A and B are shown apart, each in its own frame.
Chain A
Amino acid sequence: MPILSLQDVSKSFGALKVTDGVSFDLEAGQALGIIGPNGAGKSTLFNLITGNIAPSAGRVFLDGRDVTRAPPMERVRAGVGRSFQIPQPFGNLSVYENLLVAARFGGAVSGAEAPGFCMDILTRTGLAAVAEKPSGALSLLQRKRLELARAMATRPRVILLDEIAGGLTDAECSQLVITIKAIHAEGTAIIWIEHVLHALTSVVERLMVLNFGRMLMIGAPDEVMASAEVREIYLGIEA
């Protein structure tokens, strides 16, 4: 049974259809990349999966359970973790406290276990040295790392990464990819929206292309990137 399944999911804002009949399954432990031009509805798709917005039509299943109408907090506890394109740390909380909140409420980690659990994630994501810093005072790379760390602290079975490599230098990006690969190697399923293609294709097994809210293609990265239609729409290379 797939861990996450979308069936014919659509979302309209007035006359504008931002997601148009998207269907796919994600098996446990799989990594799926999503690419598409700006405005293709990629982040909207994440909002539909996390429950931040309700679909106009279609259904969302987690472990075979219909969660189409379930609120975000219920889906977090069912195992959906998310990072944002623009980092949104709780600025009044320290880095460590950001993780504690995610672990206690999202990951249902006990009060006794939470400190060790969070420090372990901070170490793995390279944030241990800034644990006590207010999260509002971090650099971009650190904030991106905090997004990832906080999503990990909710103990996700599927983690949604929204352009987490955007704005980073090559060296920073490579560091982040190592961490993401490690998370994936532990069996966490990943859906990753990314414009930095070399980073994305080094992790994911499948690639989906969205255009005007519709799923244009889904398949192995090499296959998808070789498609003339994808090259034209996404990369602007005429066949």
Chain B
Amino acid sequence: MKRLRITVQGITYDVTVEDEDLDAAAVPAPAAKPAAPAPVAAPVAAPAPVAAPAAAPAAPAGDGAVPSPLAGTVMSVEVSVGQKVSGGDTLVVLEAMKMNTNISAPSDGTVTAVNVAPGATVTEGQILVTLS
């Protein structure tokens, strides 16, 4: 398995790539690994769709994944990987439709991945941060 950092249209993705031929016995990447959550929602036009193949057992947008409620631009990221947060803490501030929107933690947890950086444009439903 190889970890790559890919930037597509200003959005940075940390992805894990598995070569199934080499690593036949590959076990699903443990959810705890910060780099694991593959950005399933990578833009269709992404020039380097390395992340797209179903190879990486895409950590689904399930528990702990904090999606963007609307399309916008990331103004600031208020947390970093490993940080403990309480429910209601602001994780990311987005600007959309002439307004800042605070994306807050749905519950207590630890930040296991931050998928966006300030300046990045995000789409509705894109996973911004993952909490454990």
A binds B: no
